[in-house]
Amino acid sequence: MPRETGNHQGRERGVFASNTRLVSVTCRTFTVNLLTSIRTALLFCAALTASSVAPAQAGPSDSLVSVANATLPKISVPELIDPQGQPVLSQPDAVEDQSPTSGDDTAQPVVDRNKDLPTLVAELRAPDPGSRELECLATGIYFESKSEPLAGQLAVGQVIANRASSGGRFPSTYCGVLFQRGQFSFVHGHSLPAVSHSNKQWQTAVAVAKIVDKDLKDSAVGNALFFHARYVSPSWHLKRVASIGNHIFYR
């Protein structure tokens, strides 16, 4: 029994030694391969460091050019400075004349002030006043004097315009004058009464409003600020200026 045990132990030692030699050989082989790979990588890095590749050239050649032999392309630069030392300024481009023009963008008709009132009214008659202020002035003329002669309508419009330019005694706009409380009986609240713009009397009122606004014709009432119908007799202590149609005017 003791002899068999010794033989068995000897065989185990032999197997162990053989395995140890195999592992050693395998480790040496792995180490050699690893060192070879590291050496190859170091040589590649050294080669990249020692040389450089020039940018691609515009043309059929694809050869590489070293940095030492590479040249930058020449670019023509315009002369920005006068050789004599005086700066040369570029000439500005031609610019269209943008000076402001008077009046609205739309062409305004030329009105001859020497024409009589009926002719001016016929030329300026239109359904649309063109602005809120002219609409207010035309509305005042329409409701206060649409059945009056043209001179009477001009006089009513002139009173409204005189109030607007009275320097603070009355509101400073046509609409303000109309909406002033207790002044015009046709105004209720803060809106103008509706008027058909196809109405010829309305279009006449628009023409008269334009004449008053542009001061195309003088009115016999001058700077009058008040008027009333003939059928009423208010106790005004004012200077009577004129009587036109169905209205009497004062200042």
Residue 166 has which token pair? 């009275």
Provide the H-helix boundaries in the chain: 2-50, 117-124, 132-145, 150-164, 174-179, 200-213
Residue 84 has which token pair? 């004599």
pLDDT bin (cut points 50, 70, 90) of residue 23 is: low
14-18, 131-135, 187-191: range with highest mean pLDDT: 131-135
pLDDT at 62 over 60: no
Nearest in space to 218 (alpha carbons), one of 109, 117, 110:
117
pLDDT at 201 over 80: yes
Could you give the percent of the chain with pLDDT greater than 70?
A: 60
Q: How far apart are the C-alpha atoms of 85 and 65, rounded to whole Å?
A: 41
**Whole-number pLDDT of residue 109:** 62
- Region 104-108: mean pLDDT is 50
**Whole-number pLDDT of residue 187:** 94
pLDDT at 197 over 60: yes
Beta pairing partners, 81: 87
Write down the mean pLDDT value for the chain. Answer: 77
**Whole-number pLDDT of residue 141:** 98
User: To the nearest 10°, the Cα dihedral for 237, 243, 245, 251?
Assistant: -50
Q: How far apart are the C-alpha atoms of 171 and 185, rounded to whole Å?
A: 17
- Region 31-55: mean pLDDT is 60
Could you give the percent of the chain with pLDDT greater than 90?
A: 52
pLDDT bin (cut points 50, 70, 90) of residue 94 is: very low
pLDDT at 240 over 80: yes
Sheet holding 240-244, edge to edge: 226-229, 247-250, 240-244
